Structure 1
């Protein structure tokens, strides 16, 4: 049997709380991530759990070091390390308590990630990425960051608002900011494999 496609068995699993910053209603997800996962895949896991579409650039700020996608044409990536070369376990270790994930530099979505727990991996129980809990819907892509999202919510919930019809058409119908489906989050994460 070829070992080319066998994954590295994780030793530890991190329980992370991912919380969107600078908005009134809390939007957060609790995820389990094996220590063997690369930061590049953690990006896709966070995207899937939150409900983003991974349509924009991102970076990580962990212990004052930036990680992300290296792009020689992008001026902001000079001090960045390649996220494809680092595992979650190698950058978090046992000391890191919080770190930042920034998504869509135009809209400026900031996520605070808290390491809630680090536990031994148990094969078949917790050794793959999963979402354990969460609250509220992720804002729409390209809505204009936290201030644009507040404007969007105000207009969508007020039929007499001057931008109600425009936002309704743009979004394609009603938007319920209080909805979160753990099943949808886990299905999106499973599709990443």
Structure 2
């Protein structure tokens, strides 16, 4: 089976939080999202969404996202382009630049992550950008390191990585490092409260064996559901 070795890096982390994963080349962007969620401490992967996310392919003006509102807005723009363009550009000269910026955003092609595969874009551009949770604004770079022709498994495998990933809703990179300081300081007055919160968030120190068990479990669970759907 053809597969990709990819490196997933969390921008702004120091020391760098990263994971190296092998995954089947026929994966959708939704599956790539599931993988990123699983190899970190986030909870927005299979079986359900937790926050909005997007993959950016700027060279082709494509955004792949689970943002249904953005998708519907783009569909409406495609159907009514001339009328919407005329309305947006009907402004005073001092607002024209802002109007054209709004128009460029609408021209960005919005794709659903379940309906588009990663192969064409990873092989063509070598990397894609991924953002998770528009509030905390987690930014990742996913880089294709090499292609494999003899991968024997149908599920992704974590093969390397470093550093523990942040929990959900911790407040971005600054919030995460403040969290770690309190979490590891038993004398801090908020230590016990922070530990309790971390448990609620399913926070775990980096554990490759656990991550690989979950990656394998998710693959077989999704396969079971696909078989049920096929049987009606």
Counterpart of 1:180 in 2: which secondary structure?
Answer: coil
Is 1:146 matched with 2:181? no
Q: TM-score, normalised by structure 2?
A: 0.67
Range that drifts further, 159-168 or 14-23: 159-168
Task: Encode CA deviations 1:33-57: one digit per residue, 9 max, x unaligned.
Answer: 2121111111111211223211211
- The equivalent of 2:8 in structure 1 is 18
Whole-Å separation in 2 of the counterparts to 1:169 and 1:14: 38
Counterpart of 2:125 in 1: which secondary structure?
Answer: coil
Range that drifts further, 60-69 or 38-47: 60-69
More helix by share: 2
- The alpha carbon displacement at 1:88 in A equals 1.4
- The alpha carbon displacement at 1:59 in A equals 0.6
Give the number of equivalent residue pairs. Answer: 178
Range that drifts further, 161-170 or 142-151: 161-170
1:68 to 65, 69, 72: 65
Is 1:108 matched with 2:148? no
Whole-Å separation in 2 of the counterparts to 1:104 and 1:176: 17
Q: TM-score, normalised by structure 1?
A: 0.79
User: Highest Rg: 1 or 2?
Assistant: 2
Unpaired runs of 5+ residues, structure 1, are 1-9
Deviating beyond 4 angstroms after TM superposition, the runs of 4 or more aligned structure 1 residues are 73-78
- The equivalent of 1:117 in structure 2 is 146
- Do 1:13 and 1:34's aligned partners in 2 also have CA atoms closer than 8 Å? yes
RMSD between aligned residues: 2.7
- The equivalent of 1:37 in structure 2 is 27
Counterpart of 1:16 in 2: which secondary structure?
Answer: strand
